[in-house]
Structure 1
Amino acid sequence: MKKVFCIGELLIDFVAENQGNDLSKAKEFTKKAGGAPANVACAISKLGGKSTFIGSVGNDPFGTFLLDILQSANVDISLAQQSEIFTTLAFVSIDKDGERDFVFSRGADRELKYNSSLKNDFKGSIVHFGAATALLGGNLEDAYGRYFFDALTQNSFISFDPNYRVDLWKNKDSFIKKCMPFVQKAHLCKFSLEEAQLLSGKTSLKKACKTLHDIGTETIVVTLGAEGTLLSTKNYSKTIPSIAVKPIDTTGAGDAFIGCLLKQMSGHPNLDTLLQNEMELTTMVAMANKAGAITTTNFGAIEALPYQHQLDS
């Protein structure tokens, strides 16, 4: 089984109690572990895969809490860093439909320093790039780009999720420009419908995927909530349905999806062959849909991520 390196942010989600309203009405919050790449790492490890998290937290009680959470989920945290800058925080409220209202208070996630010794570890591995805060400048963006170059030169299997957050990107054009090298070179890109439309400049999902394939990415998955996931390659396109659930919190559903998909892929002997196998890839996406759906039936991200026995039932 291949190791999956997940690069990006790890942070505290302060989730509002008395759900059903926006943040302006929230009075009490519960502390949860969050950050899309960290969620993906936990999703992989909770399903029995091998994941390593690369990111930075503060040298403070919140940072210690976050690393303990990852370690308890069997994520390898040996490459995580602790900074003297305070741990990054996000404040989240969930409305009556399970959708999120959130704001960030950035801190230690931006302080990740590049480690040149990891280059050889990337060979024969999967490297997942989650970009929620990684393209906002500073040490993190520098390290992110250099790890991307290392993954390319080591012929790693590269997965990319732009994790677009509108409150972090007032300049959409800058976000699009910074994502393009990853879309061009990644073997697998995971998008929401909004992200696929934003990065392609196309409203039609079919046209959006064609544009993104033309840019370079070989395989695209677009998560569509209750409708399932669009799986698109340069040879075919199909929507794979999900299971019916009653969602109470959509936080982490996309991370559960891509984590489950990458975990399955990490056990495949030849990923180039897998990407050409429509039937096998369809089966994997269907299982990943189930993981994402189950995650929406509980509050929080990491705590709600399923174990393998839940997917098998």
Structure 2
Amino acid sequence: MSILVIGEALIDIVSSVGAPDRYAPGGAPANVALGLGRLGADVELLTDVGDDFHGGFLLAHLRESAVRVHARPTGSTSTARALLSADGSAEYEFSLRWAPDASLVESTDWAAIHVGSIAAFLSPGAAAVDSLLQRGRASSALLSFDPNIRPTIIGDHEQALARFESLASRVDVIKLSDIDADWLYPESSVESQLERIHEFGARLVALTCGSDGSILSTTSARVTVPAATVEVADTIGAGDSFMSSLIHDLQSPRSRIEDMDEDALKHLGENASRRAAITVGRTGADLPWASEENA
């Protein structure tokens, strides 16, 4: 069975002081699909791209990493301008549309469905997200969600929080950054944030904390995993690499979330951190291939 990823594919325009702009394929869900394809998973992506040069470039890029893309190209492709600071972190400015054609997805039987980022919040495409999650639940797929919060796009806090919590009540796995969690639940401790998310029904919550590592939590076990040591080129795609690693490794029959003790969670987190470090060590969302695992 395949893994279905639903969400935006766009062109990142990377700007840094004293250097010309760089253009690169991006979009958090597209990066997750790309990461899964490079790790050897059978993966498909429902997305929305234009019939322009950028759209053709994105489609070719994804297909080179064995991603089967469902899209009806028309109009202009979405863009995200990433403004890099001296430490390699990025802030984003977006020009977006999100209106995928869910009828292009014919399967009703998936191993997993992942939704994320802007696509989970932005209409009219959010309706396609809801419909496909419902189909995934009916087929017993593993459902995952990464909110990847972009406050300037997803609406006011109350509205976005309601949407986040609605989706959180329908999925098995949630990955979010500490920045996401602090925006959703300001002035709450990490412990309170994790417990709140578990209360909606998520069986596994992964909280990434940049250079401070990550926390992986189930209702019965919790571990802190250090970040892998790496010389940072930039952080673009790091969280997406972490997410694709989680989905990939949870496909193992031995990775039932209910059975995971602290050792199993630690192994899951260490794999994700190692793969994210490979991405951080090179420019852009250049996620690792399976052939690099033992390089």
Please, what TM-score do these two structures have when normalized by structure 1? 0.88
Q: CA deviation at 1:209?
A: 0.5
CA distance in 2, matches of 1:60, 1:256: 27
Q: Which residue number corresponds to residue 84 of structure 1?
A: 74
Q: What secondary structure sits across from 1:82 in the alignment? A: coil
Q: CA deviation at 1:295?
A: 0.6
Q: How do residues 66-145 of structure 1 correspond to structure 2 at under 5 angstroms?
A: 66-77=58-69, 80-107=70-97, 110-115=98-103, 118=106, 120-122=108-110, 125-138=111-124, 140-145=125-130
Tell me if the contact between 1:274 and 1:280 (Cα under 8 Å) persists in the aligned partners.
no
How has the CA–CA distance of structure 1 residues 54 and 296 changed in structure 2, closer, same or farther, with 3 Å as cutoff?
same
CA distance in 1, matches of 2:230, 2:47: 33
Q: Which runs of 5+ in 2 are unaligned?
A: none
Deviations 1:29-86 (A, max 9, x none): 2210001111001111111222111111011111111000001111112xx2133221
Q: CA deviation at 1:234?
A: 0.9
CA distance in 2, matches of 1:14, 1:127: 28
Tell me if the contact between 1:201 and 1:208 (Cα under 8 Å) persists in the aligned partners.
no
Q: Which residue number corresponds to residue 20 of structure 2?
A: 28
Structure 1 residue runs of 4 or more that deviate by more than 6 Å after TM superposition = none
Tell me if the contact between 1:3 and 1:51 (Cα under 8 Å) persists in the aligned partners.
yes
CA distance in 2, matches of 1:299, 1:215: 36
Q: Which residue number corresponds to residue 41 of structure 1?
A: 33
| Alignment: residue pair count | 294
Tell me if the contact between 1:200 and 1:209 (Cα under 8 Å) persists in the aligned partners.
no
Quote the sequence identity (%): 27
Tell me if the contact between 2:215 and 2:225 (Cα under 8 Å) persists in the aligned partners.
yes
Please, what TM-score do these two structures have when normalized by structure 2? 0.93
Tell me if the contact between 2:223 and 2:265 (Cα under 8 Å) persists in the aligned partners.
no
Tell me if the contact between 2:4 and 2:112 (Cα under 8 Å) persists in the aligned partners.
yes
Q: CA deviation at 1:117?
A: 5.7
Q: CA deviation at 1:199?
A: 3.2
Deviations 1:224-277 (A, max 9, x none): 1112110111112210112111212101000001111211222x1265x34422
CA distance in 2, matches of 1:71, 1:42: 9
How has the CA–CA distance of structure 1 residues 106 and 33 changed in structure 2, closer, same or farther, with 3 Å as cutoff?
same
Q: Which residue number corresponds to residue 204 of structure 1?
A: 189
Q: What secondary structure sits across from 1:242 in the alignment? A: coil
CA distance in 1, matches of 2:102, 2:136: 13
Tell me if the contact between 1:219 and 1:275 (Cα under 8 Å) persists in the aligned partners.
no
Q: What secondary structure sits across from 2:164 in the alignment? A: helix
CA distance in 1, matches of 2:21, 2:42: 32
Q: How do residues 150-169 of structure 1 correspond to structure 2 at under 5 angstroms?
A: 150-169=135-154
How has the CA–CA distance of structure 1 residues 276 and 81 changed in structure 2, closer, same or farther, with 3 Å as cutoff?
same
CA distance in 1, matches of 2:41, 2:167: 24
Once the two structures are overlaid, the 10-residue window that deviates more, 169-178 or 113-122, is 113-122
Match of 1:213 among 179, 198, 223: 198
Q: Which runs of 5+ in 1 are unaligned?
A: none
